[in-house]
Amino acid sequence: MSNPIPESNRTEIEAAAFRRLVKHLREHTEVQNIDLMNLAGFCRNCLSKWYRAEAEQQGFEISDPQAREEIYGMPYDEWKTRYQTGAKQDHK
């Protein structure tokens, strides 16, 4: 039987998992947001909105562009120019 994770460690683990997810999405630019939305019901933009909302809950005001840059690793317009191509799935 595994030991329960103390709450003090849970936040660190969750934060590390979030950073790993963001890193994974940054590395896999071939995965388009529309594909993420169609398959998983969320995308990079959703993550940036959740990031912004949680920052505001903690008393930090950040703009949408700032939150997107945290997730994309660059300004959103730059990411779109470099990587956005459209959905990869065959939608019938």
The amino acid that residue 51 corresponds to is Y
Percentage of residues in the chain having pLDDT higher than 90: 85
* Contact between 6 and 13 (Cβ < 8 Å): no
Nearest-angstrom CA–CA distance, 50 and 44: 10
- Tokens for 2? 């595994």
For domain 7-83, the CATH superfamily is SMc04008-like (1.10.3340.10)
Residue of 21 and 7 predicted with greater confidence? 21
Express each pLDDT in 30-62 by its tens digit.
999 999 999 999 999 999 999 999 999 999 999
- Which pLDDT value is given to residue 91? 45
Q: Is pLDDT of 90 > 70?
A: no
Average pLDDT over the chain, rounded to an integer: 92
In this prediction the pTM is: 0.84
